[in-house]
């Protein structure tokens, strides 16, 4: 059965700290791994990592895919209170174009 596991489940840091969120996946015929940020209700897309694109960066956020360890990390540097959210990791199996298997999410709280 396809499975995505995230850790830690929750994290509290102070503004300016650097955080690393972890995601491990067991996905049939793995095609890609996606990271989303969820504030209030709607998840918003952050990154997609594939075998041909294992590292992505946007501003203070960056993500790396480790194909050997079947895992990914999401780094946030110089955290701000606006980074407080649930961060979701999702694996895409090759058997179904479009289907995503989500992890349970990591709740990040950034204190002033």
Using CB under 8 A as the binding rule, whether residue 54 contacts other proteins is answered as no
Q: Which is nearer to other proteins, 83 or 87 (CB)?
A: 87
CA dihedral 6, 83, 48, 63 (to 10 degrees): -70
Using CB under 8 A as the binding rule, whether residue 19 contacts other proteins is answered as no
Place of tokens 């969820």: 38
Using CB under 8 A as the binding rule, whether residue 104 contacts other proteins is answered as yes
Report how many residues bind other proteins under the rule CB under 8 A.
24
Using CB under 8 A as the binding rule, whether residue 98 contacts other proteins is answered as yes
Range 3-7 contact pairs with CB under 8 angstroms and sequence separation of 24 or more? 3/27, 3/101, 4/89, 4/90, 4/91, 4/101, 4/102, 4/103, 5/103, 5/104, 6/87, 6/88, 6/89, 6/103, 6/104, 6/105, 6/106, 7/106
Per-residue x/- marks for other proteins, 26-45, CB under 8 A? -----xx-x-x----xxxxx
Name the minimum Å distance from CB 111 to other proteins: 21
Chain residues binding other proteins by CB under 8 A are 4, 6, 31-32, 34, 36, 41-45, 48, 88, 90, 92, 96-100, 102-105
């Amino acid at each position: 059965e396809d499975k995505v596991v995230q850790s830690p489940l929750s994290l509290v840091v102070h503004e300016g700290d650097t955080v690393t969120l972890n995601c491990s996946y067991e996905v049939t015929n793995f095609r890609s791994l996606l990271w989303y940020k969820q504030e209030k209700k709607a998840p918003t897309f952050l990154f997609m990592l594939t075998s041909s694109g294992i590292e992505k960066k946007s501003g203070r956020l960056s993500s790396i895919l480790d194909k050997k360890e079947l895992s990914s990390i999401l780094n946030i540097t110089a955290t701000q209170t606006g980074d407080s959210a649930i961060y979701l990791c999702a694996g895409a199996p090759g058997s179904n174009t479009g289907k995503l298997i989500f992890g349970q999410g990591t709740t990040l709280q950034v204190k002033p």
